[in-house]
Amino acid sequence: MTEMVYGAIPVRDGEPVIPKWWRTIDKLTLSCILGLFGVGLLLGFAASPPLAERNNLPPFYYVQRQAFFGILAMAAMMASSMMTPHMVRRLAVIGFIGTFISLALLPVLGTDFGKGAIRWYSLGFASVQPSEFLKPVFIVVAAWMMAAAQEINGPPGRMLSFVLMGTIVTMLVLQPDFGQASLVLFGWGVMYFVAGAPLVLLSGIAGLVVLGGTVAYQNSEHFARRIDGFLSQDVDPTTQLGYAANAIREGGFFGVGIGEGQVKMSLPDAHTDFIIAVAAEEYGLVLVLIIIALYATVVLRSFTRLMRERDPFIRLAGTGLAAIFGVQAMINMGVAVRLLPAKGMTLPFVSYGGSSLIAGGIAVGMLLAFTRTRPQGEIGDLLSGRGR
């Protein structure tokens, strides 16, 4: 099969890594990610000082930590985006083994920090949430299995990925962490659909999810409380959802002004799960729309580039990574405006959180590696026979 150059960018043998990376990277997606991180730092200056004061810490303690972890996240993103898809797959397999073992050992060695869910390892100077790192590497490993199943005499990759997904979701639900479990399930489901799964099978899986949700509602007080709070017609103004809803209403179109917002004084998670409420109150709908546009651009741009990709592994892995990135942002913002039940999920690159930032950097770096321009024919050429 004759290789064709994708687009108008020629192949340059022996080209240094960094110039080649800059020439082939999706600069628009990279710019959007940097923009989101910048917005996160900006909102950190507004949201975190009241929390630092309550904890007897310097006013910008959390901003400084976010900047530190953000620099690590950007470095991880750049490093992983310079890898070839084959190298990304190797990294994901090794990372999956490590994070899976870490997730399994959480009930023994983990801590809940008084939040009722054992999700973290305490390192003294920081904490690590294994599920944040497990998501992107699982997506890549599952995509590899699904792609291998499409080969002649290939392994039963779809079934193996389903077993892995079910095991991980079960482990997350037992923590309990229904938010991360739903993300893993959603990312796998999107890839399974793209890989050609029949709608009847997907409908059956959806039915199992509904059944699992019913069982969780009946047996988990934590889960039931959040669902009941979401379905209730009246919102208690003294709850996190009540404070967030009021802040969004007060913000209006242009906001109440920088530093003038009050929601950060009341919300303990104003700098993490409800950071969008701070943005809406102080900067108004304008900044919220900018944030939504940045996320939408990353997802749509990635899907557009992946649609032209021949390699099924790259196409599946990139689609899964873009899907969980966009859906996590949608869930976080949906919770704040009460379109979805409370999930305890960060806003990628905007919310405070070391694990979330670094894991997000790795995930987006992998996505950038998959969407880089490579010498190949477009998928349309393969289907029409022009690439033969």
Mean pLDDT of the 302-313 span: 93
What is the number of domains present in the chain?
1
In the DSSP assignment, the letter for residue 337 is T
pLDDT > 70: percent of the chain = 90
By the 10 Å C-beta count (0-12 exposed, 13-18 middle, 19+ buried), 289 is classed as exposed
Give the per-residue pLDDT at 325. 96
Give the confidence band of 379 by pLDDT, cuts at 50, 70, 90.
Answer: low
Give the per-residue pLDDT at 238. 66
Of 154-163, 229-238, 276-285, 289-298, the least confident:
229-238
Is 70 exceeded by the pLDDT of residue 10? no
One-letter amino acid for residue 274 of the chain: F
For 19-53, what is each residue's pLDDT tens digit?
A: 888 999 999 999 999 999 999 999 988 888 888 88
DSSP string over 101-160 = HHHHTHHHH-B-TTSSS--BEE-SS-EE-HHHHHHHHHHHHHHHHHHHHTSTT---HHHH
**Residue 347 maps to a domain:** yes
For 65-105, what is each residue's pLDDT tens digit?
A: 999 999 999 999 999 999 999 999 999 999 999 999 999 99
**Residue 32 maps to a domain:** no
Q: 144: which residues sit within 8 A by CB, 6+ positions away? A: 89, 92, 93, 157, 313, 317
Q: Is the peptide bond before 341 cis (omega within 30 degrees of 0)?
A: no
Q: Are strands 127-128 and 121-122 parallel, antiparallel or unpaired?
A: antiparallel
**Residue 215 maps to a domain:** no
**Residue 17 maps to a domain:** no
For 247-301, what is each residue's pLDDT tens digit?
A: 888 888 888 887 777 787 777 777 888 889 889 999 999 999 999 999 999 999 9
Is 80 exceeded by the pLDDT of residue 321? yes
User: Is 81 in contact with 25 (CB distance < 8 Å)?
Assistant: yes
**Residue 333 maps to a domain:** yes
* Residue-range definition of the domain harbouring residue 193: 37-197+234-384
User: Is 322 in contact with 299 (CB distance < 8 Å)?
Assistant: yes
Is 60 exceeded by the pLDDT of residue 4? no
**Residue 13 maps to a domain:** no
- Residues 135 and 188: their CA atoms lie apart, in Å, by 10
Q: 161: which residues sit within 8 A by CB, 6+ positions away? A: 141, 142, 145, 146, 188, 191, 192
- Residues 325 and 136: their CA atoms lie apart, in Å, by 9
**Residue 26 maps to a domain:** no
Give the confidence band of 190 by pLDDT, cuts at 50, 70, 90.
Answer: very high
Of 152-166, 208-222, 267-281, 300-314, the least confident:
208-222
- Residues 34 and 315: their CA atoms lie apart, in Å, by 24
**Residue 216 maps to a domain:** no
Give the per-residue pLDDT at 222. 66
